[in-house]
Structure 1
Amino acid sequence: MGYPDIEVLLVAYYKLKTGKRAVTELPASLETEVPVIQVARVPSPTAYRLDRPQVDVSVWTLKSQRATCSALAQQVLNLTLTDLPGPRRATGVVTAAAAVTGPHWLPDPNPNLCRYLASYQLAAHT
């Protein structure tokens, strides 16, 4: 039994639900392309029939748009916890979602950018 590529699933899902650009790799011209939602799987377990991916989801905007960044990160949190689990999607099914850490601001080396990060623990299968 294979597992869905959780990054592919989440990028498509967040783009569809928010209408914002969602990626795994940040574009070189990030400042001119924000807002951006970035998805990255971190080391996490799998089981016999269920993948247990933990993912970090960052939301990026311009520094002057911190309230917008926070609101989009909160929207992603709400979508992840309440809308994502259950329905079959093109690349798999997320059966459960929990926030490991809720959205929080992080300083960025680029003084023109704002970043909010959250981590989620999911359960998924194909």
Structure 2
Amino acid sequence: MAYPDIEQLLVAFYKAETGRRAVTDLPADVEGIVPVIQVGRVPSGAGYRLDRPLVDVSVWTLKTQRSACSALAQQLVDLTTRDLIGRPLPQGVVTAASIDVAPHHVSDPNPNLCRYLATYRLAAHT
């Protein structure tokens, strides 16, 4: 049994729900296209018929937009832990979601960018 591609599921979900650009790979010209939501699965386990991914979700804006960056990261908390659960999507269904690491500011080597990062623990199946 294949598990859903959780990165693609979240990218499509975040794009549809926020109207913002969501990606797995950060584009080279990120400064010119912010805000951007970046999704990346981190090493995590899976069980019988149920994937249990840990997923990092970053929000990127310009440094001068730190409050907007934080607000979008908080919006993603609600979307991920409330609105996503049980919703049948083309890629699969997320049956549970919790916050492993709450959204927090992360320094970036690019002094013009602001980044908020959160880690979610999900359960999903096709």
Alignment TM-score, normalising by the size of structure 2:
0.99
Partner of 1:81: 81
Unaligned runs of 5+ in 2: none
Unaligned runs of 5+ in 1: none
Runs (4+) of structure 1 exceeding 2 A deviation are none
CA distance in 1, matches of 2:123, 2:61: 29
CA distance in 2, matches of 1:119, 1:91: 20
Cα distance per residue 1:45-81 (max 9 Å; x no partner): 0101100000000000000000000000000011000
Q: Alignment partner of 1:89: what SS?
A: coil
What is the aligned-residue identity percentage? 68
Following superposition of structure 1 onto structure 2, how do residues 1-126 of structure 1 map, counting pairs within 5 Å? 1-126=1-126
CA distance in 2, matches of 1:119, 1:87: 20
Question: How far did 1:2 drift?
Answer: 1.0
CA distance in 1, matches of 2:121, 2:97: 6
Number of residue pairs matched? 126
Question: How far did 1:113 drift?
Answer: 0.2
RMSD: 0.4
Alignment TM-score, normalising by the size of structure 1:
0.99
